[in-house]
A and B are shown apart, each in its own frame.
Chain A
Amino acid sequence: MPTEPRSDTGGAVVSAILIGVACLVIWDSMSYMDKDSAVFPRTFAGVLIVASAAYIVKWLLGRGEAGPGADTGSLPRRVLLVGIMLGGTMAMPWIGFIGAALPVFAALTLVAMYDPWTRFRVLVYPLIGIAIVLGFFYLFREVLQVPLPTGDLFDS
């Protein structure tokens, strides 16, 4: 029985999730036509199960090793950052690269803004954002010949 208070419950929860992921891998590997395709994922799913289970046992014995934990800071801004990036990327095939990149840049500027909005910032920041987006658009599309999405909505 543990004699010390259990630390790093989050680490144990992640370990349990990883065991679930490893089981999913083993289940998926049962459907492969060629057994050579299954050897590697099964082996390392096994390693993942053993390492994660060993960590849970360690945690149960009160010897968990806590990670850095959540530092202070704005959770809504964090979530917004990921959401805006993801939303903009998913919208790109429909509204095109520029159509998605400019609103994403503007939204992320608002999310990352901690200083007061002065007249200078209101005027200059959008201009810099437009310059960066258009500059990279030109570099990738014209110089590097990357076929950036044009947007299904505008293709007719």
Chain B
Amino acid sequence: MAGLEHLLAALTPINLAFALFGVVAGTVIGAIPGLTATMSVAVLVPLTFAMPTSSALILMGAIYTGAIYGGAYSAILLNTPGTPSAIATTFDGYPLAKKGDGDYAITIACLASVIGGLVGALALMTLAPPLSQVALAFGSVEYFWLAIFGLSLIAALSEGSLLKGVAGGALGLLLSCIGVAEVAGDVRLTFGLQTLLSGIQIVAALIGLYCIPVLIDLVAQPGHHLQVDSGSRGFRLGEAVRYLWGDKINTIRSAVIGTVVGILPGAGGSIASLVSYSEARRTAKPGQAYGKGEPGGIIASESANNATVGGGFIPTLVLGIPGTPPDAVILGALLVQGVRTGPSLFTNQGEIVYTFIWGLILATILMLPTGLFIGRYAYRTIITLPKALLVPAIAFMTIIGSYAIRNNISDVIIMIVLGGLGWIIGRFGFTASPIVLGLILGPIAESGFVQAWTIGTATDDRFGMFFGRPISIAIIVFTLFTLLSPLVLARLQKIKEQAHAD
């Protein structure tokens, strides 16, 4: 199977050089707000056409895994997810950085990304054919319920008022409807404005809602962006390793969630990180303050999103169905290379596939030193750069990054306007995270809902369509459990305390 010969084939100097270059390039591109993992893979794909197939795959895998990790830098240091996969990293990463522990947060993110990436790659190596069946078991209604499960995170993300969180989530879902409806083609909620016709681009909205409020507050006051600690504290690797070891269940659980969600076509790293963050928060130990700078939140998000890399390759290679958007680009490159994806790929072209998987594992391991090094440089740059240069530099990156997604000025205008509005309503307790959650999950929820509704109507069994399928029932039960368990536990605790008092 995945023998030593494939490892040795992956270990050639040229493959190692490609893996290193891919990780570094991916990390740097992923760190720039607006440049997604999909874009970084797409931009560098032409480089691979003249390469041997396994080397090309290693390079693309390394770019992809590096870009997913790179998104954590801006999430932690600027409160802006560099890629949508890093959205949940902002929840605890930025508060931790604001406390002066940005270096620690980056090291935690790097370690969690490496572990998540390795779990995903090992699943790809050992369990690809059976796990690929999971992708086929998910129909439109399961996607709808998965999106609803993601939306249940609103309850956890609503700081202060649950009602405001629900309103924010609904607003995000409505914002996701703007533009031409995917299902029926109606033009919705544009009110005659050309700018809104192409809809709200998710990455531009993420940049606006998370980064612009930070800039607005940054420019209003003198002083440093992040708390600066005097003296060098190194990478804080030992401290981070000890924390990860203490939180190993969260790390592994998040990696498994990331792998499984990565297998589902169209779900991707953002949903994986949100679901695993939700689980980490639900199972928090006493004293863990998620949303206020808890390292466990970074672990959950980063472990899960990097695990989607290996997970996403499972349906891509076994079924020819891309698990995530970057996988779609890589699938196209594979076809150019003459690789025929399908169940027989692992036997007919095992040499290429297993060399690639070993290459992915090596790239993930290489991410540790490169990630720590680049992260340290990024952290030092952010904390030492004078505000008069930091503000225009970030503002400039948000503009060019938002523009580059679709080469569209409207996206930049929407990004800035959303950011300004987000800052205003944020003053009154309507936080950005539920809105963003609605924006990300809206399209998945809507297409799943409408397709399931149509099939249910055609088969005259709407109830059975929504509530009668085993995976749907499991997700519904899990959603209810996630929503209700904190309330039940709090109630039981109250009863217990009353009994003690009596």
Residues of chain A touching chain B, judged by Cβ–Cβ distance below 8 Å, are 8, 10-11, 13-15, 18, 21-22, 24-25, 28-29, 32-34, 36-41, 44-45, 47-48, 51-52, 54-55, 58, 65-75, 77-78, 80-82, 85-86, 88-90, 92-93, 101, 104-106, 108-115, 121, 125, 128-129, 132-133, 136, 140, 143-149
Which chain A residues lie closer than 8 Å to B189 at the CB level? 25, 28, 41
**Cβ 8 A contact of A21, one of B171, B393, B397, B399:** B171
B372 interface residue per 8 A CB criterion: no
CB 8 Å contact bits of B420-434 with A (1 = contact, 0 = none): 100101111110000
Which chain A residues lie closer than 8 Å to B171 at the CB level? 18, 21, 48
B453 interface residue per 8 A CB criterion: yes
Taking CB atoms and an 8 Å cut-off, the chain B residues in 82-127 that contact chain A are none
- B399 and A25 contacting across the interface, CB-CB below 8 Å: no
**Cβ 8 A contact of A82, one of B177, B216, B445:** B216
Q: Which of A28, A52, A82, A149 has the most CB of B within 10 A?
A: A82
- A8 and B428 contacting across the interface, CB-CB below 8 Å: yes
- B167 and A147 contacting across the interface, CB-CB below 8 Å: no
Minimum Cβ distance to chain A for residue B383 (Å): 16
CB 8 Å contact bits of B212-251 with A (1 = contact, 0 = none): 1001111111100000000000000000000000000000
Minimum Cβ distance to chain A for residue B164 (Å): 6
B407 interface residue per 8 A CB criterion: yes
Which chain A residues lie closer than 8 Å to B164 at the CB level? 11, 15, 51, 55, 65, 67
Minimum Cβ distance to chain A for residue B431 (Å): 8
- CB within 8 Å for A10 and B387 given contacts A71-B217, A81-B395: no
* CA A150 to CA B240, docked complex, whole Å: 47
- A89 and B218 contacting across the interface, CB-CB below 8 Å: no
- B392 and A146 contacting across the interface, CB-CB below 8 Å: no
- B413 and A109 contacting across the interface, CB-CB below 8 Å: no
Which chain A residues lie closer than 8 Å to B407 at the CB level? 146-147
**Cβ 8 A contact of B450, one of A39, A101, A114:** A39
Minimum Cβ distance to chain B for residue A36 (Å): 5
**Cβ 8 A contact of A112, one of B166, B183, B392, B428:** B392
* CA A80 to CA B163, docked complex, whole Å: 33
Minimum Cβ distance to chain A for residue B169 (Å): 8
Closest 7 CB pairs of A and B: A67-B429, A73-B220, A34-B184, A108-B392, A112-B391, A114-B222, A37-B186
Contact size class for B? 35 or more
Which chain B residues lie closer than 8 Å to A28 at the CB level? 188-189, 191
- A36 and B395 contacting across the interface, CB-CB below 8 Å: no
Residues of chain B touching chain A, judged by Cβ–Cβ distance below 8 Å, are 35, 39, 43, 160-161, 163-164, 166-167, 170-171, 173-174, 177, 181, 183-186, 188-189, 191, 212, 215-222, 386-393, 395-400, 403-404, 407, 409, 412-413, 416-417, 419-420, 423, 425-430, 438, 442, 445-446, 449-450, 453-454
- B215 and A81 contacting across the interface, CB-CB below 8 Å: yes
Which chain B residues lie closer than 8 Å to A93 at the CB level? 409
Question: Which residue of A has the minimal Cβ distance to B391?
Answer: A112
- CB within 8 Å for A67 and B426 given contacts A51-B170, A114-B388, A145-B43: yes
Which chain B residues lie closer than 8 Å to A66 at the CB level? 160, 428-429
Besides A52-B163, A93-B409, 4 other A-B contacts (C-beta < 8 A):
A37-B181, A66-B428, A67-B426, A112-B219
Minimum Cβ distance to chain B for residue A61 (Å): 13
* CA A10 to CA B428, docked complex, whole Å: 6
**Cβ 8 A contact of A36, one of B170, B184, B404, B430:** B184
A-B contact pairs, 26 of them (CB 8 A): A8-B429, A18-B167, A21-B174, A22-B170, A24-B191, A34-B181, A36-B184, A39-B453, A40-B177, A40-B449, A40-B450, A44-B173, A51-B170, A66-B429, A70-B427, A77-B219, A78-B220, A81-B219, A82-B416, A82-B420, A85-B395, A112-B219, A112-B388, A112-B392, A114-B387, A148-B400
Minimum Cβ distance to chain A for residue B452 (Å): 12
* CA A62 to CA B413, docked complex, whole Å: 38
**Cβ 8 A contact of A65, one of B35, B39, B161, B215:** B161
Which chain B residues lie closer than 8 Å to A121 at the CB level? 388
Which chain A residues lie closer than 8 Å to B163 at the CB level? 51-52, 54-55, 58
Minimum Cβ distance to chain A for residue B245 (Å): 35
Q: Which of A68, A143, A145 has the most CB of B within 10 A?
A: A68
Question: Which residue of B has the minimal Cβ distance to A31?
Answer: B186
Minimum Cβ distance to chain A for residue B382 (Å): 14
Minimum Cβ distance to chain B for residue A79 (Å): 9
Question: Which residue of B has the minimal Cβ distance to A41?
Answer: B177
Minimum Cβ distance to chain B for residue A67 (Å): 3
Which chain A residues lie closer than 8 Å to B442 at the CB level? 40
Minimum Cβ distance to chain A for residue B422 (Å): 11
Question: Which residue of A has the minimal Cβ distance to B158?
Answer: A65
Minimum Cβ distance to chain A for residue B377 (Å): 16
Which chain B residues lie closer than 8 Å to A77 at the CB level? 219-220
**Cβ 8 A contact of A37, one of B173, B183, B454:** B183
- A14 and B428 contacting across the interface, CB-CB below 8 Å: yes
- A109 and B388 contacting across the interface, CB-CB below 8 Å: yes
Q: Which of B183, B391, B429, B430 has the most CB of A within 10 A?
A: B429
Question: Which residue of A has the minimal Cβ distance to B438?
Answer: A44
* CA A84 to CA B428, docked complex, whole Å: 25
**Cβ 8 A contact of A89, one of B161, B191, B416:** B416
- B396 and A104 contacting across the interface, CB-CB below 8 Å: yes
- B220 and A34 contacting across the interface, CB-CB below 8 Å: no
Minimum Cβ distance to chain B for residue A107 (Å): 8
